[in-house]
Chains A and B, each alone.
Chain A
């Protein structure tokens, strides 16, 4: 299958294809990933906060039925395979973006797939905040809102950054997958040239670019999380 990949001819051809498309492909992947993650955080962060504060025994317990509904909705959205979800939300995508093909159109299914994931990650980060600190804030007469803003979120910043890095790399993977169903970017290059037209060298380059992007995101995320963490014994 890959026997022709190491011939000079294959690489010359790959260069011809990639020269006009690779940079814009990387750019499209980056911007779809970052935009989708940002929008997923806008929905997922408050939802994640609600999942923690609304629990029985949380700082602002919500009706159990509502919590059950939220959990069921999140589990449902998380269990649908991404490609199927893309198809399912086509009507919504068409309504919002006007088309289902192209880079902008993939943002809709990406956000819908990612926000429940982000909500769970936020839930897990906020659950790490020690109950003692929450009790401290309660004993000072802090309202549930002030506890979230003043204690839970600031105290879990390093953990939130690590977890949101996971979300970012996962969404990057989904972005690449969306190349199968009309999405743009590196995934589209890898699939439409590499897989459909047997240009495996093109596919290899696109995949290596994806790997480098993941490495980059992870590196930045890890550095940032550790730089923000004041629990380490250091001066400053």
Chain B
């Protein structure tokens, strides 16, 4: 790979299991669950009555002046907390970047949560039963009376960028992508490419999302994508298990600081890991289904590995598998887990059985647009702590899925090279290779 080397110098997250690297990591190692009965709205009669909410969270400990962000929706709030942790870990507050126009942002932030109550009330009030349609004049009168402009503005997916720019003074290139569940892996990948091109010295990259609101859950329930388990919510997310029945909705944010090695050195930053490769593809297959051979996911993984100079079919000189660990997309839907397994086998051949692959979603649920960034961070923590995180709730293995999913308990292991996968509903696939930094 030509061009500058790109390193990770800061990380932070706000998740259903806690709001700091230090609080969440041991819980992941212990295989704890972030699931709860849904509290953000009354879901008691919904097909799915549980999710993984961020609990007891406030931006106050993270930002300089919470009043500045008083209008922030949950997306922006989660993003501020995660980004502040990353900024601090990168010591950008003490040893700042020389030029804030050379600091950019690339987020995969979802749309903000709907103001369901007022939106629903407006729609209902406007219904004209005899004409079987909404009355335009009533709709606008009700909407102007009930809805709040700032709350509507916060639903725009580019508002987290505005809040982060306000907090950190960032003036460089700013993008937000929304490729469903692939968004924040894509954001990290594209941020990496902007740095490699020389457009910026530092990038704040990651994602933030909540879809835990009435119409968000309705949408996924209608698609039958969510687990409708009636048992213990903590056992509902069962990636790679024979009895998996869908994903569990999570929420939160993951943010990282990426920078060129040269810039990190110049300001004396601690280097946490190196981003070595990124691959992106489109399935271009069907609206609702993944290509049955995992064509798109395979292309994304292959491209990321190739850029990192890794031959997926060959063991490393010391005999280890070409990568130590794959952070799976691993949603717990029948289709994803089968096809992801197949795609990994097609890319890695005989080496596939020699590597470990697990799904964080078994513990945190699916953070949708934010999932990839949180999973990327867990890869770096696995390297730092020499621990492979588990796939929990894998008591009833699917006999057709025969890779090492690190079932039910974490285990010690040297982790130097990780691949983090994210595949979006709609067919966008992204994979990033992150590895231990060596001179």
Chain B binds chain A: no
Residues of A within 8 A of B (CB): none
